[in-house]
Amino acid sequence: MTREFLGKRIVITGASSGIGKALAQHLAPLGARLVLAARSEDKLKAVADALPGGALIVPTDITKESDRRNLLDRTVDRLGGLDVLINNAGIASWAHFADSTEDILRQIMEVNFFAPAELIRKAIPILTQGVEPAVVNVASMCGRRAMPAWSEYSASKYAVCGLTEALRGELARFDIDILLMIPGLTKSEFSQHFLRSEGKANIEYDKGMPPEYVAERIVQSLRKNKTETWIGSDTNWMLRINRWFPRLVDYLVARKVTKLYAAH
């Protein structure tokens, strides 16, 4: 199938910056009717005001059940229904697990897994009435190959990947497509909001993919109804090598971490 976007009612979480903002900027000119969700009302308003045709903004803390319900209720009240839910919001911690805390683990799981899972659950009855309905889950390369210092983040994204695969079979009977996006390193504000930033490796965030490119690939995949999309050269080479030589990847990663800590 080829999914067109003219008139499609689309909710985007984490829409105030980064990939979410870029998704709004790609979808609005295609005629989509957008609902933008994030915690910052001011940032959402700035994004919406710059879009052709504007957008409905709904300040939302997706970890709160009342906010999730309000987001869906306002979408139905204003747009008459929902066709596509894009779960994009996320947080991370860049630190080793032994030095981290239970609170950080729980925060990351709440935002990255439990919140989108419950949003999907509540959206299913609405999506069943939608036009070419779909759920798009934005995971991460770390959701297919966990990495050191990204332990909590990797766990949350693995959970998203697992839920997506399970729901793909469950939601087929409702004709709801569920698509998984696996982006690699992206240049955005994401790294500026880590709960902790104490990892030793030198990650060059400024050399990551522009969020506009990631958003373009997500939109293409949604249009083509592609089940799973790996985005970025780092994602493609890492996951391909890991598929055939996982023990080699384990060895190389462990050696790198050992060297980093031997220097301190």
Catalytic residues: 153
Q: How far apart are CA 168 and CA 63, in angstroms?
A: 23
Name the nearest CA neighbour of 143 among 115, 188, 112: 112
Contact status, residue 227 vs residue 123, Cβ threshold 8 Å: no
Query: In sequence order, which ranges of the chain are alpha helices (DSSP H)?
Result: 18-27, 41-49, 65-79, 102-109, 115-127, 151-171, 211-224, 233-244, 246-262
Task: Classify the C-alpha dihedral 134-140-146-149 as positive or negative.
Answer: negative
